[in-house]
Copies of this chain bind each other. A is one copy, B any other.
Amino acid sequence: MSHNRTAYVLLGGLSIQSNLSGYELHQAIKENFGSFWGESYGQIYPTLKRLVAEGLIEASGSATAGKKRRQTYALTDAGRVCLREWLAQPFQNDPPRNEFMLKLFFGHEAAPGVALVHVRELNERNRRMLATLEGIEKMARAYQSKDPNLPYWMLTLGLGLALARAALDWGESALAELAAMEVDTREPLKTSEAEPSS
């Protein structure tokens, strides 16, 4: 009778669109929640079965429509109630785990230039993330419907955008700082611009 969060993500997913299969739920989660949540098949399929057993979702049509056979599911009333109860509970902050920040913190211990490489990589990832989120934003604006979910989606998206932009801004300036710092230690006396071709 106790549920892990995978269960609620699935209930939530089915609450906004019915008759999805495990595969489609996985896709939907990756596309829509990609920036703040993830689930693996190994988690999704067993959880779906369990939710059916508990009556929170029900098998709805093995849609073999044109495609292959795939079992789809829909939320039951009990499932909707369960989801609502969970939504009302205070959210938990999962233990922080930011490997980038950890490696940056120990930057002095690393070989020269390592921190710089990490920051560059972080910036690339954040640029990609930002592009994705901006794409979603554009689509959402065009979507422009009376769907009552939309305001919440835009809000969530807004936080994602704000965080990505803040991280990227920080990254740009950190790059400059690090370049100055680490050049100092690596080329303490060099003044000529000539590059020996190894």
Contact present for B38 and A156 (CB under 8 Å) = no
Interface residue from B5, B114, B166 paired with A162 (Cβ < 8 Å):
B166
A158 and B181 contacting across the interface, CB-CB below 8 Å: no
C-alpha spacing A86/B119, complex, angstroms: 16
Stretch from A48-56, A87-95, A131-139, A186-194 that touches the partner: A87-95
A148 to chain B, nearest CB (A): 5
Per-position binary interface string of chain A over residues 91-131, scored 1 when its CB falls under 8 Å from any chain B CB and 0 otherwise: 11111111111111111111100110010011001000000
Chain A, interface size: which category?
A: 35 or more
Binds B, one of A18-26, A58-66, A170-178: A170-178
- On whether A159 and B103 interact (CB within 8 A), knowing A108-B149, A108-B152, A181-B151, the answer reads no
Contact with A174, one of B15, B38, B110, B159 (Cβ below 8 angstroms): B159
Interface pair B162/A167, CB less than 8 Å apart: yes
In the complex, what residues of B have CB within 8 A of residue A44's CB? none
Contact B36 A95 (CB under 8 A): no
Show the binding face of A for B, using Cβ within 8 Å. Answer: 5, 8-9, 12, 15-16, 32-38, 80, 83-84, 87-88, 90-111, 114-115, 118, 121-122, 125, 148-149, 151-153, 155-156, 158-160, 162-163, 165-167, 169-170, 174, 177-178, 181
As for how many copies of this chain the complex holds, the number is 2
- The CB with the most chain B CB atoms within 10 A, among A35, A96, A159, is that of A159
Nearest B-chain residue to A40, judged by Cβ: B95
Q: Chain B: which residue is nearest A185 at the CB level?
A: B148
A120, chain B: closest CB distance, angstroms: 11
Decide if B155 touches A174 in the complex (CB within 8 Å).
yes
